Chains A and B, each alone.
Chain A
Amino acid sequence: MDALLELQNVETYYGPIMAIRGVSLKVFPQQIVSVLGANGAGKTTVLKTISGAMDPRKGSVRFGGDAITARDPDQVARLGIAHVPEGREVFPFLSVDENLRMGAFTRRDSGVRGDLDLVYDYFPSLAGQRKLAAGFLSGGQQQMLAIGRALMLRPKLMLLDEPSLGLSPRLVHEIAEIIQRLNTEQKVTMLLVEQNAKMALEISHFGYVMEVGRVVMQDSCERLKSATDIQEFYLGMKDEGVRGRRRWKVRKTWR
């Protein structure tokens, strides 16, 4: 089977700062793939490079077999890649309804109304707030709105940047469940960036681990879960002192 998304040796810079240093990864159709890594590892930059918000200096991004390297983000969205950015990023002064309708901006088909109902089915807590300005929603609701808005694009691939960030354990669980359901019920392929390794490994099929701009490990999530390094540094199963000083000691707390 051909990969839906393929990155080859991508290098992306912020001015002179090289944020990702030759990243290659593949996402196959119908999969949930996660990218794990500490703060500043370059996970967000990978997603921004895919969706065209940043242009790589080297390497290529292919989607469904076509090169989409360095296209404008609105063009990439039109191809069926929906990016749910870090920090939710809703349109704060537009209503929940308008936010969702903007998610379908690229679409001309008659299915938009039905998809609106579908989103409200998945996120019942938004249904009661249709007319409310999105800026007044709680953090969890804003995250749901951002995911719902992405779903309105009817994407083939959804890029999710730390959807669990700042949410209560119960909400993290809820979001994880939604991601899984969208994957199986709506056939949306997912590329999920997370610091919450426990949640990410639980729901995804394949995982990449990034460290200072590089992929340092990649495997099926089954095997990643049992890898000692992962257990130690991302799942917090062992006291870190035992292994002594390590390069990736600088990492975030586990949730």
Chain B
Amino acid sequence: MEILQLLISGISQGCVYGMIALGFVLIYKATEMVNFAQGDLMMFGAFISFTFLNLLGWPFIPGVLATLGLMAALGVLIERVLLRPMIGEPPFAVLMLTIGLGFMLRALAGAIWGNKPRALATPFSGGVIRFGELVIGYENLAIVAGTAILCGLIFLFFRYTRLGIAMQAASQNQLAAFYVGIPVKRIFALVWGLSAIIAATAGILVAPVSLIDPLMGSVGIKAFAAAIVGGFGSLPGALLGGLIVGIAEQFAGLYLPAGFADTSAYLILLLMLFVRPEGIFATLQRKKV
């Protein structure tokens, strides 16, 4: 029973890692940049939803939609203002820029909302479902359901919409995408918008479980490890990597000495790099020389 309980909290935590990892992979696949501010975008999304839902008292659905809309705009803006001038610069410079962006978002959040941790009250705060001894919080159910719905929508978007297929085309062959008339630069901005939406969704879902504060985005590093475990370049891989890390963390917390829980993400990463360096879903081919 205890194992099942751990599994459930591991899955819900893993979904959060998975969603952040999804954002990493999306941006990487499309633009070949790694956005180290992905976790901080989650934090920002959580604060914005806190503003709409709790400070302004909006009903849940409109508040969430407003948050997602605002975050999408923020993602597009970041690409437009910060990243686009960096096209052609060395990857290292872009990396530093996104790390700097993370610092900026944290400082900005601290300035606007303060550094005191806040709790986000949502319709699914507090309630639990019991199956015998098993206790599942509504928030955890919401995380799993929310992740499933989001992933389903993303799948449909990439599979069936013109824009989604164009995003795939731009990430598979940038020059050919240009030649058929796809506005690749605008597509990159939209990919950033989409990643910000995913990050914000993760933020809204995780906020009722773990408090919101400007540093909550630091889970981004574990999510980054999860993305690599999943194969960095595969969307299902990112999600699976997140779940593996989330579940392993819970079990390490119980069965291994203190300290292992927080490092388990990196231990898995190390193990993975030894056993199967290309990740679970190896879709990225080695670059042709």
What is the interface of chain A, defined by CB distance below 8 A to chain B?
51-53, 72-74, 77-78, 82-85, 89-94, 98, 101-103, 105-106, 149-150, 152-153
Contacts and interface: CB of A to CB of B under 8 A. Distances in A.
Interface string B158-179: 0000100110110011011111
Interface stretch (B96-104, B122-130, B181-189, B220-228): B181-189
Contacts of A91: 168-169, 172-173, 176-177
B178 A102 contact: no
Interface residues of B, number: 18
B180 interface: yes
A53 B172 CA distance: 17
Nearest to A78: B181
Given A105-B166, A150-B180, 7 more contacts: A85-B179, A91-B168, A92-B173, A93-B168, A101-B162, A102-B165, A106-B180
B15 to A, nearest CB: 26
Contacts of B173: 89-92
Contacts of B165: 94, 98, 101-102
A90 B155 CA distance: 22
Nearest to A89: B176
Contacts of A92: 172-173
A71 B120 CA distance: 49
A83 B176 CA distance: 9
Counting from the closest, the 10 A-B pairs by CB-CB distance are A77-B181, A106-B181, A73-B178, A89-B176, A83-B179, A91-B172, A91-B169, A74-B183, A74-B181, A102-B169
Identify whether the interface residues of B are mostly helix, strand, loop, or mixed. Answer: helix
B159 to A, nearest CB: 10
8 contacts: A53-B179, A74-B178, A77-B179, A92-B172, A101-B162, A102-B180, A102-B182, A150-B179
A91 B104 CA distance: 37
Most B CB contacts (10 A, CB to CB) among A51, A105, A150 go to: A105
A183 B190 CA distance: 37
Given A51-B179, A72-B178, A78-B181, A105 B172 contact: no
B87 to A, nearest CB: 12
Nearest to B168: A94
A85 B176 contact: yes
A231 to B, nearest CB: 35
A114 B96 CA distance: 49
A105 B181 contact: yes
A77 B168 CA distance: 19
Query: Which of B175, B176, B183: most chain A CB closer than 10 A?
Result: B176
A73 B166 CA distance: 15
B172 to A, nearest CB: 5
B178 A90 contact: no
Contacts of A52: 178
A126 B79 CA distance: 38
Contact of A149 (B166, B178, B180): B180
Contact of B176 (A78, A90, A93, A153): A90
A249 to B, nearest CB: 29
A98 to B, nearest CB: 6
A106 B177 CA distance: 11
Interface in B11-28: none
A105 B175 contact: no
A128 to B, nearest CB: 22
A82 B169 contact: no
Contacts of A51: 179
A77 B184 CA distance: 12
Given A74-B184, A101-B165, A105-B166, A93 B179 contact: no
A76 to B, nearest CB: 8
B258 to A, nearest CB: 45
A142 to B, nearest CB: 11
A113 to B, nearest CB: 14
A48 to B, nearest CB: 9
Contacts of B180: 77, 82, 102-103, 105-106, 149-150, 152-153
Contacts of A82: 179-180
B25 to A, nearest CB: 15
